[in-house]
């Protein structure tokens, strides 16, 4: 077995265990294999090992890979999306994790209208204060979501967070918990047309904690493909 296949199995085993610790069904957790900087052959290996969802953070890089690998797996856009790249996303991605403004949501909706296609999106939330990461502030989330429900070619499926990096994964836990609580708060208000089932949170160093806190999508690069060299 190649290293990618072995890593993939190890990651799955760890997810099964983390889910069991909190009484969750591991089948409710989707692993996004994050393949930025990873060459196509390694991604193909992962797909052959059973990976069904692949994540990229740059449109151009994703485009080159998808041309070769095709869309037999689900492709996720997990990085910041520039407005001028939105015209490509419907041909490339199944889900965009990183909608971080109403303006971006509107541009996606407009492109969807042109093509009569709906894009599944997650809303990126900024937790952790002075970090320069993109995302909506929790305080502006509710009004923003209400505006976004008026965009028919956008299917808002959930929330996404990238907490600050901590070497101790336990330090990520409050951020994951906060995202789940924000989701629950919004769901309890029952905004028409929004269900927010998905929580995209957890990376190689902290995905088990994220699973314990309710992640439905974990975005894992290094633990599957090894350290990035670029």
Three-class SS state of 200: strand
Measured in degrees and rounded to the nearest 5, phi and psi for residue 227 equal -60, 145
Does residue 79 belong to the site contacting ligand PLP (CB under 6 A)?
yes
Closest to 210 in 3D by CA, of 168, 167, 164, 177: 177
Binding residues for ligand PLP restricted to 40-59, rule: CB under 6 A:
57
Smaller CB distance to ligand PLP: residue 97 or 183? 97
The answer to whether the beta carbons of residues 156 and 197 sit under 8 Å apart is: no
Return d(Cα 185, Cα 161) in angstroms, integer: 16
Q: Give how far Cα 203 sits from Cα of 33, 78, 186, Å.
A: 10, 12, 24
| 3-state SS assignment for residue 59 | helix
Q: Which is nearer to ligand PLP, 54 or 108 (CB)?
A: 54
222 near ligand PLP (CB under 6 A) = yes
* Structure token pair of residue 62: 């994703």
* Nearest CB to ligand PLP, comparing residues 169 and 193: 169
Per-residue binding string, ligand PLP, 100-129, x by CB under 6 A, is: ------------------------------
Q: Does 36 bind ligand PLP (CB under 6 A)?
A: yes
Contact segment (CB under 6 A) with ligand PLP among 4-12, 14-22, 128-136, 197-205 equals 197-205
Interface ranges with ligand PLP (CB under 6 A): 34, 36, 57, 78-79, 162, 203-205, 219-223
């Amino acid at each position: 077995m190649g290293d990618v296949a072995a890593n993939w199995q190890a990651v799955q085993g760890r997810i099964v265990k983390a889910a069991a610790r909190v009484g969750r069904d591991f089948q409710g957790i989707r692993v996004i294999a994050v393949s930025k900087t990873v060459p196509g052959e390694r991604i193909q290996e992962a797909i052959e090992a059973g990976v069904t969802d692949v994540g990229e953070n740059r449109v151009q890089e994703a485009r080159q890979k998808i041309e070769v690998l095709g869309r037999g797996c689900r492709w996720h856009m997990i990085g910041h999306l520039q407005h001028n790249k939105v015209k490509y996303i419907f041909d490339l991605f199944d889900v965009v994790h990183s909608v971080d403004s109403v303006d971006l949501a509107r541009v996606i909706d407009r492109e969807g209208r042109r093509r009569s296609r709906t894009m599944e999106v997650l809303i990126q939330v900024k937790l952790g204060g002075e970090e320069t990461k993109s995302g909506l502030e929790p305080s502006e989330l509710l009004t923003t979501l209400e505006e976004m429900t008026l965009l028919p070619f956008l299917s808002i499926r959930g929330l996404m967070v990238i907490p600050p990096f901590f070497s101790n994964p336990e330090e990520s836990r409050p951020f994951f918990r906060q995202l789940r609580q924000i989701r629950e708060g919004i769901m309890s208000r029952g905004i028409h047309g929004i269900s927010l089932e998905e929580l995209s949170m957890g990376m190689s160093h902290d995905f088990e904690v994220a699973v314990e806190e309710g992640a439905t999508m974990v975005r894992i690069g290094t633990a599957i493909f090894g350290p990035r060299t670029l």
